[in-house]
């Protein structure tokens, strides 16, 4: 019987195998899968022609726009810009005329896209256009016309860079976004704004007091900050177009680190309650605030998840500051970090995949990532210096942070994978508390 | 007891007669050795089950080896020749044993006369000769059979290759390797283009036509990282046209899925 059963099982196995073969046969004939990994880590090659003005009367401004645009593309780390001196001979002439009569002349150049542009001044306005050609598929990709104030030429350059990135990567560009931060370069801690490329520095507050922790509203039109103007650290808002300041929260004790929800309808704020800092939820238009946390421990540094359902924050309820997350509706709390004794300033990524935070390792602060489920931990910065206060670019590709790598504290920008670190702007004095704007319309 | 003796003597005399007469028939077997031996092998299985099993096993095993040898050169044929002696020894063993037993029985016989000795010597000589002859002939026949089997298998293989498109499969694979190489050589991505701490997978399927042109480029699944997806698509587009199919591939178009991962 045993032998019989073995024979039977073998038979069954053979039968199954045969059936599988029969089923598999048509599929194996139909499609084959090839695995390709380990790509060459090379930026996308883009050719940028010399920008000119229509009658060659305002070539300087056209060239300035081109330079800012090229700098943006290079800073992004996504592109290798090829200048007109490296163009194929036959393409040089056409590139100034904006359009190419024959894209075949680019064959073998190893370039994917070519950008041409023309800008001139008509009256008081700056008028121009650009063209983007796909050299792989040999077709016209995109062309736009711009008209604006002459003083906004830099903004126009950023807009074109955005368009290039959108066309090539399918993701909205962030070259016209800004980073708010605090600096003591005038002797007092004041709020400043700067462009992604480290240009166009603007001082926002001039009150001579202490102004800290700037945070953006969801629409990017206002900036919230905490100021000691009236002795108590109250929360203020400044309208960036009118530059008017409003005091919005002035409870005794600290009113700070506001986090505006992605939908723009709620704000979580840190307020003092029973000698401890707690988190309060405020809805636009509602008079009363809701206390989210309780107990004789501190809660601070809230940051919203991109879906607007959860917040991450710091609490010392375990005895030392650690990162937590909370479902805002149910107030259900969960501790995320168990690594290190001191973890602060969490920032939820716009894609929702990571929470960046700052961790003290020995005597130094280092930036880490953790997944929102707390399972995966990654160290982003290294070196004998403090790297603190990470803040995400709106598409989640870059982080701004403060670093003491050159002695004083300064603002740096890096890629999400820790590469392409650069100092945003160099000036006398210290810079800290960076906050990256949302997309600015 | 008597009838046994009678039978014994009878058998001895019969044997002697047989071995004495057999040399006269030897030349005939020399002339047409091959057919005789073939029949031998065919008949043997019927006589004893062991031999049947053995011969079956050999027949089963050897073709497999010859399969792996396939079309390749003489070296392997030489190998198969080397293997033959072992087999033949095994095949002849039972016979020899029987013979030996008989010889022992003869030795035990009490009356040993001179004539007996002479006969024994003659018998031994004949046995040796027979052994050698049978060994040779069996070798030959086995070789013949092996060759025939090889030829048959090769022919069968060729037939199946033609019918199941086994050989075009080879061309298909080398063509796929070419496709892989071309796409790989064109795949570049900025290091800041994607989060290297994540597991990403982009699958793009393409249809390559006979002339090497690409149709129906479509994403089967996206990684979620726009730049990564884009870089994969660009790698395919940068290749442009693939080489035309070799004629032996016997296909009008092939569908290939390409999995890109960091």
Could you report the average pLDDT of every consecutive run of 10 residues in chain A (441 residues)?
53 56 49 88 91 85 93 93 87 78 82 91 91 89 91 93 91 93 95 94 94 95 95 94 92 92 93 91 87 93 95 95 95 93 95 94 93 92 93 94 93 90 91 95 78
- pLDDT at position B55, please? 47
Contacts of A33 in chain B (CB under 8 A): 203, 256-259
- pLDDT at position B49, please? 47
At B5, is the pLDDT very low, low, confident or very high (cuts 50, 70, 90)? confident
Verify whether the Cβ–Cβ distance B261 to A79 is below 8 Å.
Answer: no
Q: Give yes or no: residues B106 and B158 share one domain.
A: yes
- pLDDT at position B77, please? 45
Angstrom distance (rounded) from CA B114 to CA B109? 13
Q: Give yes or no: residues B187 and B133 share one domain.
A: no
Distance from CA of B32 to the nearest CA of A (A): 45
Q: Token digits for A371?
A: 């997944």
Q: Does B196 touch chain A (CB under 8 A)?
A: yes
- pLDDT at position B226, please? 85
Q: Give yes or no: residues B179 and B157 share one domain.
A: no
Residue of A nearest to B239 (CA): A136
- The stretch B159-177 carries a mean pLDDT of 69
Contacts of B226 in chain A (CB under 8 A): 169-171
Q: Give yes or no: residues B127 and B8 share one domain.
A: yes
DSSP letters spanning A6-20: HHHHHHHHHHHHHHH
- pLDDT at position A368, please? 95
- pLDDT at position B113, please? 59
Angstrom distance (rounded) from CA B223 to CA A249? 43
Q: Are A61 and A153 in contact (CB under 8 A)?
A: yes
Widest distance between CA atoms in chain B: 107
Verify whether the Cβ–Cβ distance B255 to A31 is below 8 Å.
Answer: yes
Q: Which of B195, B230, B256 sits opposite A31 (nearest CB)?
A: B256
Q: Give yes or no: residues B142 and B239 share one domain.
A: no
Which residue has 């047989």 as its token pair? B18
Q: Which of A36, A43, A78 sits opposite B184 (nearest CB)?
A: A36
Q: Give yes or no: residues B171 and B142 share one domain.
A: no
Can you give the residue range of the structural domain that contains B153? 2-164
B157 vs A56, more confident:
A56
Q: Give yes or no: residues B59 and B171 share one domain.
A: no
B99 vs A298, more confident:
A298
Q: What is the ipTM of this complex?
A: 0.77
- pLDDT at position A293, please? 93
Domain boundary among B164, B196, B221: B164
Gyration radius (Cα) of chain A, Å:
27
Q: Give yes or no: residues B125 and B177 share one domain.
A: no
Contacts of A137 in chain B (CB under 8 A): 237
**Residue A212 CB contacts under 8 Å (≥ 6 apart), including other chains:** A182, A189, A225, A226, A227, A256, A433
Q: Are A353 and B198 in contact (CB under 8 A)?
A: yes
- pLDDT at position A288, please? 87
Residue A282 sits at the vertex; the CA angle it makes with A351 and A320, to the nearest 5 degrees, is 70
Q: Which tens digit of pLDDT belongs to each residue from A162-202?
A: 999 999 888 889 999 999 999 999 999 999 999 999 999 99
- Res. B86: pLDDT tops 50: no
Q: In whole angstroms, how far apart are CA A91 and each of A99, A115, A232, A287, A371? A: 10, 12, 64, 64, 48
Q: In order of start, what are the domains of chain A with their CATH numbers?
A: 44-169 (3.40.50.10070), 178-436 (2.120.10.30)
Verify whether the Cβ–Cβ distance A33 to B256 is below 8 Å.
Answer: yes
- pLDDT at position B75, please? 44
Q: Does B60 touch chain A (CB under 8 A)?
A: no
- pLDDT at position B22, please? 76
Positive or negative, the CA dihedral B24, B30, B31, B34 is positive
Q: Which of B238, B257, B260 sits opposite A136 (nearest CB)?
A: B238
A354 vs B17, more confident:
A354
Q: In whole angstroms, how far apart are CA B82 and each of B85, B87, B91, B142? A: 7, 10, 16, 12
Q: Which of A32, A37, A420 sits opposite B192 (nearest CB)?
A: A420
Q: Does B195 touch chain A (CB under 8 A)?
A: yes
Count how many residues are written for chain B. 262
Q: Are A435 and A422 in contact (CB under 8 A)?
A: no
CATH number at B226 reads 3.30.1150.10
Q: Give yes or no: residues B159 and B183 share one domain.
A: no
- pLDDT at position B257, please? 93
Domain boundary among B164, B182, B202: B164
Q: Are A365 and A387 in contact (CB under 8 A)?
A: yes
- pLDDT at position B38, please? 42
Domain boundary among B116, B132, B164: B164
Among B195, B217, B250, the strongest candidate for a mutation testing the A interface, having the largest count of A CBs within 10 A, is B195
Distance from CA of B250 to the nearest CA of A (A): 13
Angstrom distance (rounded) from CA A106 to CA A111? 7
- pLDDT at position A54, please? 84
Q: Give yes or no: residues B192 and B135 share one domain.
A: no
Q: Give yes or no: residues B45 and B136 share one domain.
A: yes
Q: Are A212 and A182 in contact (CB under 8 A)?
A: yes
- pLDDT at position B43, please? 42
**A57 CB-side CA count, 13 A:** 8
- pLDDT at position B164, please? 47
Q: Token digits for A297?
A: 């421990």
| Lowest mean pLDDT across B13-22, B152-161, B171-180, B182-191 | B152-161
Q: Are B194 and B227 in contact (CB under 8 A)?
A: yes
Provide the domain count of chain B.
2
At B144, is the pLDDT very low, low, confident or very high (cuts 50, 70, 90)? confident
Question: Cα–chain-centroid distance for residue A103?
Answer: 35
Q: Are A347 and A303 in contact (CB under 8 A)?
A: yes
Distance from CA of A156 to the nearest CA of B (A): 24
- pLDDT at position A239, please? 95
Q: Give yes or no: residues B71 and B58 share one domain.
A: yes
Contacts of A77 in chain B (CB under 8 A): 190-193
């Amino acid at each position: 019987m045993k032998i019989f059963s073995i024979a039977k099982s073998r038979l069954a196995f053979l039968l199954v195998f045969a059936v599988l073969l029969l089923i598999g046969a048509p599929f194996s004939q139909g499609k084959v899968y090839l695995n390709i990994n380990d790509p060459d880590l090379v930026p996308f090659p883009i050719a940028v022609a010399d920008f000119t003005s229509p009658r060659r009367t305002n070539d300087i401004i056209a060239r300035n726009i081109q330079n800012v645009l090229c700098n943006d593309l290079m800073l992004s780390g996504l592109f290798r810009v090829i200048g007109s001196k490296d163009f194929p001979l036959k393409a040089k002439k056409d590139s100034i005329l904006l359009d190419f009569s024959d894209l075949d002349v680019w064959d073998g150049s190893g370039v994917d896209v070519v950008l041409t542009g023309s800008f001139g001044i008509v009256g008081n306005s700056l008028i121009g256009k650009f063209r983007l050609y796909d050299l792989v598929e040999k077709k016209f990709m995109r062309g736009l016309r711009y008209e604006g104030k002459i003083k906004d030429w830099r903004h126009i350059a950023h807009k074109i860079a955005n368009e290039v990135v959108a066309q090539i990567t399918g993701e909205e560009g962030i070259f016209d976004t800004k980073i708010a931060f605090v600096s003591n370069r005038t002797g007092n801690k004041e709020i400043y704004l700067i462009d992604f490329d480290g240009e166009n520095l603007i001082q926002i507050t001039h009150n001579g007091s202490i102004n800290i922790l700037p945070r953006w509203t969801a629409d990017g039109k206002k900036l919230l900050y905490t100021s000691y103007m009236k002795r108590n650290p109250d929360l203020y808002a400044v309208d960036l177009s009118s530059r008017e300041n409003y005091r919005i929260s002035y409870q005794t004790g600290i009113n700070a680190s506001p986090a505006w929800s992605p939908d723009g309808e709620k704000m979580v704020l840190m307020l003092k309650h029973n000698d401890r800092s707690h988190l309060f939820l405020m809805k636009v238009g509602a008079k009363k605030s809701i206390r989210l946390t309780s107990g004789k421990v501190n809660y601070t540094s809230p940051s919203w998840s991109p879906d607007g359902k959860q917040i991450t924050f710091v609490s010392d309820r375990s005895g030392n500051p650690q990162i937590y997350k909370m479902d805002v509706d149910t107030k259900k709390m969960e501790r995320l970090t168990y690594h290190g004794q001191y973890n602060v300033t969490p920032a939820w990524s716009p894609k929702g995949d990571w929470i960046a935070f700052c961790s003290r390792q020995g005597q130094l602060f280092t930036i880490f990532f953790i997944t929102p489920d707390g399972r995966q931990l990654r160290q982003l910065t290294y070196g004998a210096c403090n790297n603190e206060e990470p803040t995400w670019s709106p598409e989640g590709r870059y982080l701004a942070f403060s670093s003491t790598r050159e002695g004083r504290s300064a603002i740096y920008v890096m890629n999400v994978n820790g590469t392409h670190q650069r100092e945003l702007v160099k000036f006398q004095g210290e810079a800290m508390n960076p906050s990256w704007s949302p997309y600015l319309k | 007891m008597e009838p046994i003796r009678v039978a014994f003597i009878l058998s001895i005399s019969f044997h002697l007669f047989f071995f004495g007469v057999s040399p006269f028939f030897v030349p005939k077997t020399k002339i047409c050795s091959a057919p005789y031996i073939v029949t031998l092998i065919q008949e043997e299985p019927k006589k004893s089950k062991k031999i049947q099993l053995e011969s079956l096993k050999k027949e089963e095993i050897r073709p497999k080896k010859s399969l792996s040898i396939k079309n390749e050169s003489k070296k392997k044929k030489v190998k198969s020749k080397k293997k033959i002696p072992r087999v033949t020894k095994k095949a002849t063993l039972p016979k020899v044993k029987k013979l030996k037993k008989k010889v022992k029985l003869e030795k035990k016989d009490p009356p040993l006369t001179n004539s007996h000795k002479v006969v024994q010597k003659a018998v031994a000589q004949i046995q040796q000769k027979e052994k050698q002859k049978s060994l040779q002939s069996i070798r030959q026949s086995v070789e013949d059979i092996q060759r025939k089997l090889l030829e048959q298998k090769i022919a069968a293989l060729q037939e199946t290759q033609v019918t199941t498109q086994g050989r075009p499969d080879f061309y298909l694979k080398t063509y796929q390797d070419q496709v892989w190489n071309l796409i790989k050589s064109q795949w570049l991505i900025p290091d800041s283009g994607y989060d290297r701490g994540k597991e990403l997978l982009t699958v793009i399927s393409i249809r390559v036509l006979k002339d090497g042109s690409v149709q129906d480029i479509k994403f089967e699944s996206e990684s979620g990282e726009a730049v990564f997806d884009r870089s994969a698509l660009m790698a395919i587009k940068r290749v442009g046209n693939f080489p035309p199919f070799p004629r032996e591939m016997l296909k009008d178009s092939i569908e290939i899925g390409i999995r890109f991962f960091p």
